[in-house]
Amino acid sequence: MRFTKGRLAIPELPEVETVRRELEPWLKDRHILGAELIDAVPHVKYANLPNCVGQRIEAVNRRGKFLLLPLDGGDELIIHLGMTGIVTAKKPEKHIRVHLELTDNDTSNHLYFQDTRRFGRFLVVKQGEYKSMPTLHAMGVEPLSDDFTDSVFKAVLQKSSTAIKTYLLSQKPVAGVGNIYADEALWQTKIHPLTPSNKVPAKKIPLLREAIVDILKKSIDAQGTTLNDYRTVNGEVGAYISELKAYGHAGEPCQRCGVILEKSVVGGRGTHSCPYCQKLPKS
DNA sequence: CGCATTTCCTGGTAGC
DNA sequence: TGCTACCAGGAAATGC
């Protein structure tokens, strides 16, 4: 599969972090004056939305791919972009799910959440209470924090025999790794996507950890310098896309060994890997 | 309980 | 050209 013109940029950790940095100066310390649910959507994804009205946004934080906005009344606004979620002050023409009215101190007092494919979430919980959100509740360590060490990563990989690719996507071993970066990190470190997590060779665990960190950091840098408007679907190729070695390159020669890269399905997700470089460990 | 599979949803696109 | 069928994805729900 190739990146075709108009293809959506899937929000992974680097793009969500870019969004967070944009939202912070806009939203921090504003009061929410009104909250309107625009479209008929599964209620659970927009639970308790009216509760945010009257509260002040204390911060704009990120946990994995989730945006967490603590409110001064003890609640927390959670935003997940899913595949197509866009947070914007400019009213979109279609697919608006939420409209917030904010403190009226300039022209940016309206917030719209647009979500074409309805995979996103926009809900209010009591601060830190993620029981209704199993992925967030069981979220692993932040990859860009000092807590993401070799020993921590090794310990969590020992806990599961699930395929390493699937386990990474579960967000349990480390937060924020999506389909693209999972494929990239596994290609980089020559690990077969189906390798049981607890069978990843010990010597490769530090390499995988390092690859995840490096790729995410590099991608954050690329997003920050290349995309002028993170809110829009950008059909042009972003800088990080040109760095991809595996994702989207099935049918092309591996840049390391020249063997044709394969496309497969792992855990129900499109998976790109090199049949020569990425071998399953003998067992 | 743990792991695997299915579901949600819509626009783009391949194929006829 | 117009129609149908299918695919992509993160997280939750369901199945085994």
pLDDT, one tens digit for every residue, chain A (283 residues) = 223 323 346 788 998 998 899 899 999 999 999 999 998 778 899 999 999 999 999 999 999 999 999 999 999 999 999 988 999 988 999 999 999 999 976 768 999 999 999 999 999 999 999 999 999 999 999 999 999 999 999 999 999 999 999 999 999 999 999 999 999 999 999 999 999 999 999 999 999 999 999 999 999 888 644 433 344 333 344 578 788 999 989 999 999 999 999 999 999 999 999 999 999 987 6
What secondary structure does DSSP assign to A47-90, as a single string? TTGGGGTTPBB---EEETTEEEEEBTTSEEEEEE-TTTEEEESS
Respond yes or no: is residue A12 known to be catalytic: yes
Nearest to A225 by CA among A16, A11, A9, A18: A18
CA distance linking residue A191 with residue A45, whole number of Å? 35
Fill in the amino acid letter for A114.
Answer: Q
Answer for the pair A264, A192: CB distance below 8 angstroms, yes or no: no
φ, ψ of residue A9 in degrees (nearest 5): -90, 115
The per-residue pLDDT for A283 is 66
The string of DSSP letters for A158-209 reads HT--SBHHHHHHTTSSBTT--HHHHHHHHHHTT--TTSBGGGS-GGGHHHHH
- A42 belongs to the catalytic site: no
User: How far, in Å, is the CA of A126 from the C1' of nucleotide C13?
Assistant: 23
Q: Which nucleotides of B are covered by protein (CB under 7 A)?
A: 2-14
Q: Which two tokens stand for residue A40?
A: 């008929």
Alpha helix ranges (H) inside A227-278: none
For the segment 59-78 of chain A, residues whose CB is within 7 A of strand C: 64-66
Q: Is A117 a catalytic residue?
A: no
Q: What is the pLDDT of residue A236?
A: 41
| A74 class by beta-carbon count within 10 Å (0-12 exposed, 13-18 middle, 19+ buried) | exposed
**b/e for A201-224, b at 16 or more Cβ within 10 A?**
eeebbebbbebbbebbeebbebbe
Strand partners of residue A101: A34, A110
A259: its two tokens: 């063997």
Protein CA A129 to sugar C1' B3 (Å): 25
The answer to whether the C-beta of A122 is closer than 7 A to strand C is no
The whole-number Å distance from A103's CA to B15's C1' is: 52
Residue A169: CB less than 7 A from any atom in strand C: yes
- A80 pairs with which residues across the strands? A66, A121
The residues pairing with A88 across neighbouring beta strands, listed in sequence order, are A112
Catalytic residue at A11? yes
> If we measure between CA atoms, which residue out of A54, A10, A2, A48 comes closest to residue A30?
A54
The phi, psi pair for A201, rounded to 5°, reads: -55, 140
The answer to whether the beta carbon of residue A248 comes closer than 7 angstroms to any atom of strand C is no
What nucleotide is nearest A269 when CA is compared to C1'? Answer: C9
- From CA A70, how far away is CA A57, in angstroms rounded? 6
Q: Which of A62, A65, A121, A172 is catalytic?
A: A65
* Nearest nucleotide over every DNA/RNA strand to the A137 CA, judged by C1': C11
Report which of residues 180-199 in chain A place their beta carbon less than 7 angstroms from any atom of strand C.
Answer: 180
Nearest residue, CA→C1' of C11: A135
Q: How far is the CA of A132 from the C1' of C11 (A)?
A: 12
Q: Residue A196 CA to nucleotide C16 C1', Å?
A: 20
What domains, with CATH codes, occur in chain A?
13-133 (3.20.190.10), 150-273 (1.10.8.50)
